[in-house]
Amino acid sequence: MSRIGKAPVVIPAGVTVTVSKENVVTVKGPKGELKETVDRDIIVTVGETEVVVSRPTEQIRHRAMHGLYRSLISNLVKGVTEGYKKELELVGVGFKAANTGNLLDLALGYSHNIIFEVPSELKVATTTEKGQNPKIFLEGIDKQLIGQVAAKLRSLRKPEPYKGKGVKYAGEILRRKAGKAAGK
**Is there a contact between 19 and 44 (Cβ–Cβ < 8 Å)?**
yes
DSSP-based three-state secondary structure for 102:
coil
DSSP-based three-state secondary structure for 72:
helix
Query: Per this entry, what is the length of the chain?
Result: 184
pLDDT at 152: 96
Give the homologous superfamily in CATH for domain 84-169: Ribosomal protein L6 (3.90.930.12)
pLDDT at 6: 86
Dihedral over Cα of 73, 78, 83, 86: its sign:
negative
Beta strands in 38-80 (DSSP E): 43-46, 50-54
Nearest to 97 by CA among 108, 111, 87: 108
Q: Which residues of 21-30 are buried (b: 16+ CB within 10 A; e: fewer)?
A: eebebebbbe
DSSP-based three-state secondary structure for 181:
coil
Beta bridge partners of 103: 100, 117
**Is there a contact between 28 and 93 (Cβ–Cβ < 8 Å)?**
no
pLDDT at 118: 94
pLDDT at 1: 52
Q: Please list the residue range(s) of the chain that carry CATH number 3.90.930.12.
A: 3-81, 84-169
pLDDT at 2: 67
Pick the CATH number of 3-81 from 3.40.50.620, 2.30.110.10, 3.90.930.12, 3.60.21.10: 3.90.930.12
pLDDT at 184: 60
**Is there a contact between 174 and 161 (Cβ–Cβ < 8 Å)?**
yes
Q: What is the number of other CB atoms lying within 10 angstroms of the CB of residue 76?
A: 26
Say if strands 103-107 and 114-117 run parallel, antiparallel, or are unpaired.
antiparallel
Radius of gyration of the CA atoms of the chain, in A: 21
In tens digits, what is the pLDDT along the chain, a chain of 184 residues? Answer: 568 888 999 999 999 999 999 999 999 999 999 999 999 999 999 999 999 999 999 999 999 899 999 999 999 999 999 999 999 999 999 999 999 999 999 999 999 999 999 999 999 999 999 989 999 999 999 999 999 999 999 999 999 999 999 999 999 899 999 888 866 6
